[in-house]
Amino acid sequence: MRLRRRLGRSSIEVSPIGLGCWQFSQRKNLAGGFWESVPADVVQEIVQTSLDGGVNWFDTAQVYGNGRSEEMLAEALKACGKAPGDVVVATKWWPTLRCACNIKSTIGERLERLGGFPIDLHQVHQPLSISSVEAQMNAMADLVEREQIRTVGVSNFSTSRMRDAHAFLAMRGIPLVSNQMPYSLLDRRIESNGLLAAARELGITLIAYSPLAQGLLSGKFHDDPDSINSRPGPRKWMPSFKEKGLKRTWPLIKLLREIADAHGVSSSQVALNWLVTFYGDMVVAIPGATRSSHAKDNVGAMAFDLSHKELQAIDRASRQLM
């Protein structure tokens, strides 16, 4: 596996696996309540383990703890000896009940919370805004031209919205470099709804979030179904974590374990490796971590290669669940 790939049609190179930092929200606000609070020293360990394993980019957002995730990430990077420019930092603007002018009025706060680390990728977090896509992209383009951000991406944008965003930025001579979407072996909607094909056509990188289906693909909840009941957030009420859902996905988990055993790795690592390999360099993933052991498992996904036969077998097993 190549350890660096271009982020869309930009000069930025990122590792196939990045680190999603939603978990660093410290249980601030509704979004932060999805995860347990991670102490600062553990956040530092997670970041250091990720760096040691070859990760060179980190994804956070305004809405993750009202900026607390951004602060925790910056503090951890500094504690790990990293300076601005040493790593790639991505964050996201939250558009709900806000107009496009808010993108520019909040950029100072984003930069302040990131403690001097520049914003290499700034993304519109989701499409629900009171402003048009055109207005949002023009606001982002203004920030690029002022050198307050380096590149522009979107998140949770449909195929048509992504095409619109790409077109409006192109009018300003700026590429849309990424679209961040839910994508895993248990959620492959982007393959059937035209989004993946459009991204390939336009040279847009797809950033897969929830690449392990919120932990399901690790198999740990299949081994201990009751363990979900002690976890914070709404996962415990989701059908996929119930007995029927776990039984349905067991054949895929079993195959992942068989392949993992053959490589001396974990099921999670096989699932992540498949995700960032099957469609070449156009997909990267941002698994999260609440412990350094999780981060170690994440980066291990970049340390081996799946055979064509294994990739196809996983593909077939996954498609049977669609």
Residue 182, beta-bridge partner list: 209
Rg of the chain over Cα atoms, rounded to whole angstroms, equals 19
- Taking the C-alpha atoms of residue 170 and residue 141, their distance in angstroms, rounded to an integer, is 10
Specify the residue for token string 């390999």: 277
Secondary structure, 3-state, 21-32 = CHHHHCCCHHHH
Q: What CA–CA distance (Å, rounded) separates 153 from 131?
A: 17
Q: Which two tokens stand for residue 30?
A: 């509704």
Helix (H, G, I), strand (E, B) or coil at 300: helix
Strand ranges for the chain from DSSP E: 5-6, 13-14, 19-20, 57-59, 88-93, 119-124, 149-155, 176-182, 205-209, 283-285
What is d(CA 17, CA 21) in angstroms, rounded to the nearest whole number?
13
SS3 at position 204: coil
Do residues 211 and 272 lie in contact, with contact meaning Cβ atoms separated by under 8 Å? yes
The pairing of beta strand 13-14 with beta strand 5-6: antiparallel
The verdict on whether 279 is a catalytic residue reads no
How many alpha carbons lie under 13 Å from residue 5 in its C-beta half-sphere? 24
Query: Catalytic residues, which ones?
Result: 64
